[in-house]
Amino acid sequence: MERFLGPYSLKQVKEAYGRMEFGLQDEIAGSLRQWVAFDDFESIRKHYPELVQLVQREMLSGWGVSTHSAMGSSALPVKVKTPSRSRKSSPSVLWILVILLIAVLAAVGFSLHKDGELGNLIGMLKDRQLYEARVQYGDRYNARFEAFMDRNRESINAALRKRRTSALWLPYVRAVAFEKDGRWEGLSFRKLRGHTDGFLPQDCSMGAWEQRWTKSKGDWARFLDGREFPRDEWSHLLAMDPHWIRSRSPSPGWIHPGTYAEGCLRMAVKAMQRLTGDKDSWEAKVFISRMRWQLGVVNAQVPDEEFEMSGTLWALSCIEDAREVDALKNCQGSVNPKQGWRDVFEVSTLHRKIELTLEGRKSLDGDALSSFEKMVSEFGNRAPPYYLPREPELKFYQEIVQQKGDVEGARDTVQPKYPAINFHH
């Protein structure tokens, strides 16, 4: 909230004042001497006598203030009347500036409140350490920010136990936790996750994922060739549509990663890499490739893949990556899925068709609207995958049908009900 000028020589101080770089309410300090406000003439006279002439003749005189001494003693500054017309008009100018300042602050406050940042700003003004965390974080996660958080763990944990400051600290704590091993000592896994993505495991640390991968190793082959779709946390994670995650990022309370789902993916792939090392099985290589691809879509990046996907995960990625409806029919040619996987493919293909129909469209009419209505009806009758709730998306699609194909109007209606989800295509 402050800025610093200098160091200046006396001549440079005068030149800087001439350029209006500082004013009466600003402060000055010399080498190893205390800070003094320019309008505190007594302290200026005592500590910085070389500035008396500047303050008395130039700064204070411009505000109608006298600093004459009586019998060698210093007198307090007093206001004096002047007949000058310009002096009489200055209060009006000041009132105009005050009104403009209030208007600007009100506009900024409204914008921050609308974006949900007003509470964060107030919290940072009250908590210097929280403000410092935000400054250290800057535009992206970095080593300096991580070191700051590590040094101040004790005081941060104390803030996490308080209702008013806990929510403000959580985004930064989550950033450090999911950059490392998915844990923050002193914070429960339940609170680290929050109330979002309830279908995902409560503990998404690297240690927990190593246990899941080790326990499930005997099911990997049947999962990849389509014979079985286990109702397990590891299979849910691998089958997650990355577009679903991206449309919910950043979630409230998250900055890096943008969602709990992304954090789980990060820990799962790191755990798999640490667990298998140089002795990767083919299934492990495919799993790593799939998760890296998911993270690439979530962050709008094209990952440098080391291994190609195969089997069911290749087919699922093909569906999610399709750019045209006609391309979807080529995605399942090499897979003969059983019932569990068949349901996943059918619902995922139907949803991708709906998304491709809406892509870049402001409205639908004619055959396009008729086809869209049939797909939405079928999508509503089909139970979505139990590991990936799509209720907000279904409401959006149904609203488009309700508004006779007006995509933008439907988005304006549904978006306020689900502010954390991006319905743009």
160-188 tens-digit pLDDT: 999 889 999 999 999 999 999 999 999 99
Does 92 or 397 have the greater pLDDT score?
397
Asked if 351 and 383 touch (Cβ cutoff 8 Å), the reply is: no
Tell me the C-alpha distance between 229 and 338, whole Å. Answer: 8
Per DSSP, helices labelled H in 180-227 are 189-193, 206-216, 220-224
pLDDT at residue 413 above 80? yes
pLDDT of residue 99: 78
Q: Count Cβ neighbours within 10 Å for each residue of 281-297 and write b for 16 or more, e otherwise.
A: eebbbbbbbbbbbbbeb
pLDDT at residue 66 above 50? no
pLDDT at residue 304 above 80? no
What are the structure tokens assigned to 72, written together?
Answer: 């060698």
pLDDT at residue 378 above 90? yes
Asked if 206 and 274 touch (Cβ cutoff 8 Å), the reply is: yes
Helix (H, G, I), strand (E, B) or coil at 214: helix
pLDDT at residue 385 above 50? yes
| pLDDT tens digits for range 326-360 | 999 889 877 888 888 999 999 999 999 999 999 98
Question: Residue 65 gets which letter from DSSP?
Answer: E
pLDDT at residue 91 above 80? no
Contacts of 227 (CB under 8 A, 6+ apart): 338
pTM over 0.75: no
Band (61; pLDDT cuts 50, 70, 90): low
Asked if 305 and 194 touch (Cβ cutoff 8 Å), the reply is: no
Band (82; pLDDT cuts 50, 70, 90): very low
pLDDT of residue 286: 93
Average model confidence (pLDDT) for the chain?
A: 83
Band (405; pLDDT cuts 50, 70, 90): very high
Tell me the C-alpha distance between 318 and 309, whole Å. Answer: 10
| pLDDT tens digits for range 106-143 | 665 555 444 444 445 444 445 789 999 999 999 899 99
pLDDT of residue 64: 46
Contacts of 421 (CB under 8 A, 6+ apart): 247, 248, 392, 415
| pLDDT tens digits for range 233-280 | 999 999 999 999 999 999 999 999 999 999 999 999 999 999 887 667
